[in-house]
Amino acid sequence: MAPTIVVEKDGLLPSSMPYTSSPRGGMSSLRATVYIAITLVCASTALWSLCPQHYWGEPVVATNLCAQASAVNPVKHAELWSSLDGIYATETFASRAIEWLGGAIRVPTESFDNMAPVGEDPRWEAFGPFHDYLLKAFPQVHATLALTKVNTYGLVFEWKGSDESLKPLLLMGHQDVVPVNPDTVSEWTHPPFSGHFDGKLLWGRGSSDDKNGLVGILSTVETLIESGFKPTRGIVLSFGFDEEASGPQGAAHLAEYLQEKYGKNAFALLVDEGGDYMIEHGKVFATPGIAEKGYIDVRIDVESPGGHSSVPPSHTTIGLLSALLVHIESNPYTPKLNRGTPMYMKSQCLAAHAPKLPSDLRKALLAAEKSDTALRAAEKILFEDRMFKALVGTTQAIDLISGGVKTNALPESAWAIVNHRIATDSSLTETKEHDIHTLKTLAAKFNLSYSAFGEDITDSSSHAYGKLTLSDAFHAGLQPAPITPLDAAAYQLVSGTIKATYDAHRGGDEVIVSPGIMSGNTDTRYYWDLTPHIFRYNHHYTGNDSLFKDIHTVNEYIEVDAYIEMIKFFTLLILNADESTDL
């Protein structure tokens, strides 16, 4: 086990060093030199196991890891912010905010996979009443900002700033929600589209994903207009309507419109739905997503001769497909924690700032920057957390399957779809190659001709018993997103705004801002060319629980106190960005 490195005034010292006076006292320069040398050798060679391992108390963690921005509060707009902060604390505003979001929840806006284009599929018409609701709920937004509807239901609100030389701020959200399974309606504590408020929680589909974000942004802008705010830096709001179905009708068209009007790299920064903040290892961590995993749905088709079920072969087509799927699950991708990735950065923040992080994990992480042995040791411990492991590596989930039409007929075909979320340091090509290689042996075993993604993998001989085909299920896959730079003013501004919001709403112990990633993909997949400064974050407090505990399932809800804090975050972000001269 690697020695813990501590930071003292005199430099880097191993915590296992025998001090001359007390565990926090000084030591001779000779001893310090010797132990620094030992530490460096241990951390970079296989001699780690021979190094000093005695641990004295809590270490003073390496503060050069996961450096924190200072809280950013408005200066020019200080008086306005003080006034708004007071307004947000009132019961009157809370009632207003509850009605804004509750009313939005009460208008069902479900989007489904594989919907036909707008104008052909009548299910899109559900968004018309939602637009009517927004017009009624936010009259000042509609009277003050220019509204453009893109592909009928995509919404772009533009609030022109007084200084057109400043790149505008881009805020995003989506209007649609995941469909409610009719079989689960009875399991909801309150009906899924009731927008019911029980005195603390607001219930319903979209309360946590993502009508809270969309309505939170509009609530902020409505209140700013009412307070007399006029922006110096322009503000653009972009709201898609099929994010839950990957955004081809909504965000894809919205991004094209914005790029045509504003050009590439035209926005100072972009904030969309995403990470939350919660308590981890005794410390509050906020995790804005600075990257997203890639994505691909791989369809596996198996074909073989049909016939009467009374004379079956050794394996029916469904049996062949089942064997292939079992083999896939038996050969998952091997996740690996690599330096420079967002989740490695997150682990370094835990090492630097989490007081209750296990000491063996902290020791390994502090040595991991130079030692591969330490990195693998840290990885082993971190991967005991299923969520952390999933965020690091490429995942696979068999989500759809179909085959057969009648009990007395052998199925000529069967298919399944495997959903992949591709690691930030991997690629579409690596993912496809893994799937191709995984099934190659079984294709030969069952005498199946084999093609994948338009190319023949094995000889498509007529003597083959059947056929195995891999293909993109619905659309071409998505590469992992570019990583938002951390050494830029935009990251400092967002981090500082998170800290200022937390302090204004909760006070007490500070929040640590750590880079992170989204496990899924947001509409930002279409916006990469508009700005390199993309943040997936909605300032949603979840305590000790994950944000994912109630979204896309029964009993979705949000705490109203957390929702009002989100409004404070958007308010501070707009005011801080308006004052910034560094963006």
- Residue positions forming the annotated binding site: 174, 209, 244, 272, 552
- Strand (E) or helix (H) holding 278: strand 269-280
In 3D, which of 477, 424, 427, 396 has the Cα closest to residue 291?
424
Which residues are known catalytic residues? 176, 243
Partners of 158 in the β-ladder: 146, 236
In 3D, which of 421, 453, 452, 423 has the Cα closest to residue 439?
452
* Residue partners of 458: CB distance under 8 A and separation at least 6: 440, 443, 444, 449, 450
Q: How far apart are CA 530 and CA 533, in angstroms?
A: 9
Partners of 403 in the β-ladder: 414
Which residues belong to the annotated binding site for Zn(2+)? 174, 209, 244, 272, 552
Partners of 277 in the β-ladder: 286, 541
Write out the DSSP string of 528-569. TTT-S-EEEEEEEE-TTS-GGGSTTSSS-EEEHHHHHHHHHH
- The answer to whether the peptide bond before residue 301 is cis (omega within 30 degrees of 0) is no
Are 417 and 475 in contact by the 8 Å Cβ rule? The answer is no
| Residue whose token pair is 């500070």 | 510
Are 572 and 81 in contact by the 8 Å Cβ rule? The answer is yes
Dihedral of the alpha carbons of 186, 192, 194, 200, in degrees to the nearest 10: 100
Are 130 and 107 in contact by the 8 Å Cβ rule? The answer is yes
Dihedral of the alpha carbons of 349, 350, 356, 359, in degrees to the nearest 10: -110
Partners of 151 in the β-ladder: none
Burial class (CB within 10 angstroms; exposed 0-12, middle 13-18, buried 19+) of 97: buried
- Calculate the alpha carbon distances from 422 to 174, 511, 535 in Å: 23, 29, 19
